[in-house]
């Protein structure tokens, strides 16, 4: 039973990803974000359980990545699909068959092709996870942006729209070119050669984990002061601090 506990936790991640997918398709993006966040928590707990119980396995590694493809790959792709559709229709009421949406005939149906660009995120996430499974160097650090961090970045956009109540930010987020740019940047960061530190503590010594402690404290301060707008700032800070740490180490 101890051997299967981490895999059971991973399956809870799969369940959260499935529920988040349903809500994302229904355009209830705030509920999709809740279940993605829960899935990411289970993604953290399954690895922690495997290390504490010393029951790491190849099956667990593969299952973990398959779960992440759903929670941190498919769902962000659907969310970007919905955001691109919103940028064409001008709001939450998405109508892909609308004349105003610059729709075109495709496979006998009148649909707008632009929103499907969002699934580049899903494709890039799947490719990144496949590379991670065969890369033995990503233990103490990550090469490229981890899929859970990328998922939080994408899911923060509809939450900013819903809860920040800023017309200027809304105008930026619902701009088609901005969303296309975020999609391409997301796909690039997922599979880039940028080395990013992992939030894994071998001990609780501050000197050995100074960067991790500073990152956590700064992130908490940003979340309290900036709410959902803090998420893109935290991701940028994560990448920047990793680059600075790498240069200073050299």
Whether residue 140 is predicted with pLDDT greater than 70 in this model: the reply is no
Whether residue 106 is predicted with pLDDT greater than 80 in this model: the reply is no
Q: How does residue 95 score in pLDDT terms, banded at 50, 70 and 90? A: very low
pLDDT for 98 equals 46
Q: Give percent of the chain above pLDDT 90.
A: 60
Point out the least confidently predicted range of 62-76, 153-167, 183-197, 201-215: 201-215
Longest CA pairwise span in the chain (Å): 62
Point out the least confidently predicted range of 28-42, 110-124, 200-214: 200-214
pLDDT for 88 equals 86
Query: Which whole number is the average pLDDT over 148-160?
Result: 96
Query: Which whole number is the average pLDDT over 145-168?
Result: 94
Whether residue 161 is predicted with pLDDT greater than 60 in this model: the reply is yes
pLDDT for 96 equals 46
CA pair distance 226, 247, nearest whole angstrom: 29
pTM strictly above 0.85: yes
Mean pLDDT of the chain: 86
Whether residue 99 is predicted with pLDDT greater than 70 in this model: the reply is no
The full DSSP string for 180-212 is HHHHHHHHHHHTS--EEE----SS--TTTTHHH
């Amino acid at each position: 039973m101890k051997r299967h506990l981490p895999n059971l936790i991973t399956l809870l991640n799969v369940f959260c990803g499935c529920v988040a997918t349903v809500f994302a398709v229904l355009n209830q993006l705030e509920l999709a974000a809740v279940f993605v966040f829960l899935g990411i928590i289970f993604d953290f707990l399954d690895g922690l359980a495997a290390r504490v119980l010393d029951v790491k396995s190849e099956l667990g590694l593969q299952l973990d990545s398959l779960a992440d493809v759903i929670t941190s790959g498919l769902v962000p792709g659907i969310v970007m699909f919905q955001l691109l559709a919103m940028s064409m229709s001008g709001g939450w009421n998405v109508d892909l068959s609308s004349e105003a949406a610059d729709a075109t005939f495709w496979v006998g149906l009148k649909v707008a092709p632009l929103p499907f660009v969002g699934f580049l995120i899903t494709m890039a996430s799947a490719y990144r996870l496949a590379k991670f499974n065969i890369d033995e160097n990503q233990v103490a650090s990550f090469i490229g942006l981890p899929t859970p961090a990328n998922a939080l970045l994408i899911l923060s956009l509809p939450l900013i729209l819903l809860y920040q109540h800023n017309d200027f930010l809304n105008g930026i987020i619902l701009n088609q070119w901005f969303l296309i740019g975020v999609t391409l940047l997301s796909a690039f960061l997922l599979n880039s050669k940028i080395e990013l530190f992992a939030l894994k503590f071998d001990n609780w010594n501050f000197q050995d984990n100074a960067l991790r402690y500073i990152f956590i404290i700064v992130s908490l301060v940003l979340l309290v002061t900036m709410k959902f707008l803090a998420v893109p700032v935290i991701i940028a800070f994560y990448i920047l601090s990793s680059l600075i740490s790498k240069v200073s180490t050299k």
